[in-house]
Amino acid sequence: MGRIVDYPRRARRGPGRFIPSWRLVLGVATAAFLLAVIAFSVLYATVAIPDPNKLVTAQASVVYWSDGKTELGRFSAVNRQSIPLSQVPVTTQHAVLAAEDRSFYSNVGFSPTGIARAIWVKLTGGPLQGGSTITQQYVKNYFLTQERSYSRKLKEFVISVKIEQQQSKQLILQNYLNTIYFGRGAYGIQTASQAYFGRPADRLTVAQGALLAAVIRGPALYDPVTQKARAEQRFAYVLDGMVSQGWLSASERATITFPKVIARKTGNINGGPNGYLMRAVQDELKTRVGLTDAQIDQGGLRVVSTFDRRAQSAAISAMAQEMPTQGAKGVRAGLAAIRPGDGAVVAMYGGPDLVKDPLNAATQAIMQAGSTFKPFALTASLQAGNSLRSTYSGRNDQTFPGVSGTVTNFNHESFGMINLVKATEDSVNTVYVALNIDTGPDKTVAAAIAAGLPQDTLGLQPNISNVLGTSSPRVIDLADAYATFAAQGVRATPYMVRSVTSATGDVNYKATGKPVRVFSPGVMADVTYALQAVTRAGTGSYAGANLNRPVAGKTGTSTSNMSALFAGYTPQLAAVVGMYRQVHGVPASLSGLGGITEVTGGSFPVRIWTAFMRGALQGAPVKDFPPPVYGGTSNAPLYTPPPVIPTQTPTTSTPTTATPTTPTPTPTPTLTPTLPSVTGTAPASAAPTAKG
């Protein structure tokens, strides 16, 4: 039986038998070529372009200040922000090509000589060399893993060829620039530009683009700070390559110097007071917008917050300037500011550092409201038809049915019969307990809930003592309620996320505070007038004397100085500052803070509040509150003038003297909102001492 392949050669003897004929060599080569073509064809047909690797398509979600332009922070599993190639300067594109693949626009997606050179260097142990084209690097990063195996390299080769057939060079370069790692935790050209130079990619200079191109090969090896000499050599290599390719003139090349880079940001990105803003935005994206953690961390969202950069800076500065350091161990302070009638939270101070203390003193901590709760009783009373002109006894040490013990005023001060404006100005406890009895503590609770306090606020019960601030709301809830006063009875739900836009530019969410009227303008005008008296001559007079614009507000201090607050507003902005102390997780008195024995709402809280409002409202027009309407009917006896004595000569008959009739004021019609019902029996309770 004959052989198909004549090898060893039968017609020869000796060693010559093992020398293949030219026909055999040609045949084997042809067969090998055909087999390679068949194998490649099979691979080309069977190896599909996979879905992009989730890791490299993940983009950071950027949160902006309320201007929608200035970045506040970002959420990211990977710090990446993809941009179109049109936003990358041509000089930067050329720098990357000069560094990584000078024949990019002419090659077919792979470089046989480059691969051979890389293999040879690897075998001989030479210095690091690049053997892949930009297309191959793009495929490796975008579609495959970093696994080093022959099968992965084969897949990379096949996919590179297919990609070249299906995508334009511009799209390949765009995706490459958006996926590669530049060091400093930055993936993609946009975040790299921010990380190294603090500017977006479209503003990169020639020198800056060349440096970013230089670090691609090895971000740690060519770090411009720790490895500056090596980075400068690579930087020069890139610029020389640009000149050799005609992308940069020699004269311009001679003027370019190594660029300065900004200091690398270290530490937790959520550190500092603004970390609380980022955490609050993240929570709202999940609870109100309905996004998952993966969508937030990897979705490339553009989130516009409600936080005003200047107002937030004013909040941080006010805390730093007015918060004492003496005796401050365990003291926490929170601030929340809301735009009336809209609900946008424009500033929030939850603490000095989220990383060190994750509890937000503005949105999570609770503290007894003290006398900041009294305006809800006043609102409920005026709503029921009472008048600011009504008078009550301000005598100290009074007893009331349903309250065990005596009710005392701050500093045991006694007043005579005073109207509700004076009682609010001086925060007279005995008057307000009497007012709460007349109105009904359930109506006071209902007014507080309608204004903005959650129904499940700790201690919010329909007992007589609730008017003295026995409930413990959060600072942001109290700010919401006072914003309702500022908006003349229009309540809006607080929110911190104004809009969410996808990476493709689609607006997925747009917020609204959903404003609704809960109190009549007349009732609110009278409540505001009484609260203006507090800042004119009462416990909050520091605010009125130093803000230089109309302001209304109320101080609040709980028994034993366990909390101190100031809640106030102008027509444009409502804000609350509250502080408390905890030692080993146990509430403690604020006494001793700043060397003061008795810390009240009229001390540090009102000073912080005023400093904040001064900065937040800088440049804003000065607006007046509506004048009081004095609605309702007063309980005070009407004044009756004495009888008129006739001047004529008296006669023996007794003249008939008519007593003039004093007209009864007509109550101003008020809108009675539908308030949440409050159930439960009001228990008798000991009277706390609410302080101004």
Active site amino acids: 100, 371
How far apart CA 437 and CA 73 sit, in angstroms, is 50
The amino acid occupying position 573 is L
Please report how many Cα atoms fall inside a 13 Å half-sphere around the Cα of residue 543, on the Cβ side. Answer: 33
> What Å distances lie between residue 466 and 439, 447, 598, 670, 679, CA to CA?
13, 12, 22, 25, 15
How far apart CA 350 and CA 562 sit, in angstroms, is 18
DSSP sequence for 532-571: HHHHHHSTTHHHHHHH-S--EEEEEE-GGGSEEEEEEE-S
What letters, b where the CB count within 10 A reaches 16 and e where it falls short, cover 451-483? bbbeeebeebbbbbbbbbbbbbbbbbbbbbbbb
Encoded tokens for 620 = 């804003």
Under 8 Å between Cβ of 370 and 690: yes
Place of tokens 């004013």: 314
How far apart CA 426 and CA 418 sit, in angstroms, is 10
Under 8 Å between Cβ of 2 and 10: no
Under 8 Å between Cβ of 168 and 152: no
Residue 300 burial (CB count, 10 A): 19
Which neighbouring-strand residues pair with 516? Answer: 491
Residues in the chain: 692
Which neighbouring-strand residues pair with 555? Answer: 566
How far apart CA 487 and CA 185 sit, in angstroms, is 46
